[in-house]
Amino acid sequence: MSAALEVKGLTTQFSTRKGAVTAVNDVSFSVQPGRILGLVGESGSGKSVTGFSIMGLIDEPGRIIGGQVMVQGADMRKMSTEEQRKMRGRAVSMVFQDPMMTLNPVLRVGDQMAMAVRVHDKVNKAAAWERAREALEIVGIPAPRERLQAYPHQLSGGMRQRVAIATALLHRPAVIIADEPTTALDVSIQGQILAEVRRLADDIGTAIVWVTHDLAVVSSLADDIAVMYAGRIVESGTAEQVIANPRHPYTRGLIDSVPGLHEPGQDLPQIPGSTPQLVNLPSGCPFRSRCPRATDICASFPHNTGTEAHSVLCHHPLEAT
């Protein structure tokens, strides 16, 4: 089967007063139809910029300086602005942490969803409303016909996020990029949305990139996991491999610092220091200053020392089991 989304060597820079910042650095991954890739990392690691770069939504002072973004085999980066616009919403769409990035506060849900339908499909208004109703149903919104009449502010945060996801689904895109869509929601609402998203992938075959800082969420939702640190994917593999047998010292440290896995009251294993500034990032492995396994050779940038299926960018990876 060919990948719904394939990203190769994606590199995005921002020019700042202090110098160039490579927010996304040689990032590669692919997502098959019906699979969910969890893109995990701490704040500032480059997750959102990766999402925006895939969507072609990087503006000045940012610039994609290299790489390919293949959606169903077509390279988005080779397309004209107009062609890219046609892909957005139809072949690939994005859901943001704040649903109001998608929703227009002064329009009824039905009107704005119908408009989104008619951007790409010339159907009449009644048919567009019907498509909107179906999409709300898919994401588990009760009484969808009534919700179409509502304005966004009349809905709860969880309901608004579902409307945003439903809007992303209107054209049955092959790929959805979801950037921390449940981070601001309560766990009971998050649980409902995760269950619906899993169904989307399983039943409709949508390929999903689920961006989050929450390891517990990806370990229970995703098929595959890619771990980002300082703009790079430092480890990727199936969710089972990465969680049960993390091979990069950073992934290991991240998993170890989650409180749920330890005897209550015990000191948590902690990663020393803090995430590096991307301006003037020293060469070599960016995790070097915090890494318990670092040696002199880590002053040169590590290549993949794992396998293709379970990759690790580290000179001294932990053992594969």
Partner 1 sequence: MTDPILKIDGVSKRFTRKPGPIVSGIDKLTGRNSTQTVHAVNDVTLSVARGEVLGIVGESGCGKSSMGRVVSGIYAPTEGTVTLEGKPVARDHRGNVEKLTTRVQMIHQDPFASLNPRMKVGEIIAEGPRIHGLIPAREVQERVRSLLEQVGLEGAYANRLPHQFSGGQRQRVAIARALAMQPDLLVLDEAVASLDVSIQAQVLNLFMKLRRELDLTALFISHDLSVVRHVCDRVAIMYLGRVVETAPADELYAKPLHPYTEALFGSVPTLGTGRARFHPIKGEIPSPINPPKGCAFHPRCPLAGPRCKAEVPRLVTPSDNRSVACHLQDGGTGTQTGATA
Tell me the site size for Mg ion, rule CB under 5 A: 1
Rank residues 16 and 295 by Cβ distance to ligand ADP and give the closer one: 16
Can you tell me the distance from the alpha carbon of 88 to that of 73, in angstroms, rounded to the nearest whole number? 15
Distance CA 5, CA 175 (A): 7
List 249, 253, 276, 306, residue binding ligand SF4 (CB under 6 A): 249
* Contact pattern from residue 265 through residue 304 relative to ligand ADP, giving x for each residue in contact according to CB under 6 A and a dash for the rest: -------------x--------------------------
178 Cβ neighbours under 8 A, 6+ residues apart: 94, 95, 165, 197, 208, 209, 210, 211
Q: How far apart are CA 75 and CA 83, in angstroms?
A: 11
Q: Which helix (H) or strand (E) holds 189?
A: helix 187-199
Handedness of CA 97, 101, 107, 111 (dihedral sign): negative
Rounded to 10 degrees, the C-alpha dihedral 76/82/83/86 comes to: 100
Indicate whether 147 belongs to the interface with ligand SF4 (CB under 6 A): no
Applying CB under 5 A, among 48, 182, 206, 251 the residue interacting with Mg ion is 48
Q: Of ligand SF4, Mg ion, partner 1, none, which one sits near residue 198, judging by CB under 5 to 8 A according to partner kind?
A: partner 1
Is the distance from CB of 230 to CB of 276 less than 8 angstroms? yes
**Span near Mg ion by CB under 5 A; candidates 48-56, 186-194, 248-256, 273-281:** 48-56
Residue 271 phi, psi (nearest 5): -85, 125
Given the DSSP bridges, would you call strands 36-40 and 92-95 parallel, antiparallel or unpaired? Answer: unpaired
Show contacts with partner 1 in window 167-226 (CB under 8 A).
186-192, 194-195, 198, 213-217, 219-221, 223
259 binds, among ligand SF4, partner 1, Mg ion, none (CB under 5 to 8 A by kind): partner 1
CB of 47 to partner 1, least distance (A): 12
Q: How far is the CB of 114 from ligand ADP (least distance, A)?
A: 31
For the CB of residue 183, give the shortest distance to Mg ion in the complex, in Å.
9
Q: Nearest-CA neighbor of 73 among 37, 111, 105, 30?
A: 30
Nearest to 287 by CA among 301, 268, 269: 301
Chain positions 282 to 301 lying near ligand SF4, rule: CB under 6 A, are: 285, 287-288, 291, 293-294, 298
User: Could you give the CA distance from residue 14 to residue 279 in angstroms, rounded to a whole number?
Assistant: 10
The reply to whether 254 sits near ligand SF4 by the rule CB under 6 A is no
Q: Which does 117 bind (CB under 5 to 8 A by kind): ligand ADP, partner 1, Mg ion, none?
A: none
Residue matched to tokens 């921002």: 14
| 48 versus 167: smaller Cβ distance to Mg ion | 48
- Interface residue with ligand ADP, options 3, 27, 35, 48 (CB under 6 A): 48
Whether 27 and 201 have beta carbons less than 8 Å apart is answered as no
Per the CB < 8 A criterion, the answer to whether 70 and 31 are in contact is: no
- Give me the residues that bind partner 1 (CB under 8 A), please: 42-43, 156, 158-159, 186-192, 194-195, 198, 213-217, 219-221, 223, 239-240, 243-244, 253-255, 257-262, 264-265, 267-271, 274-275
Binding site for Mg ion (CB under 5 A): 48
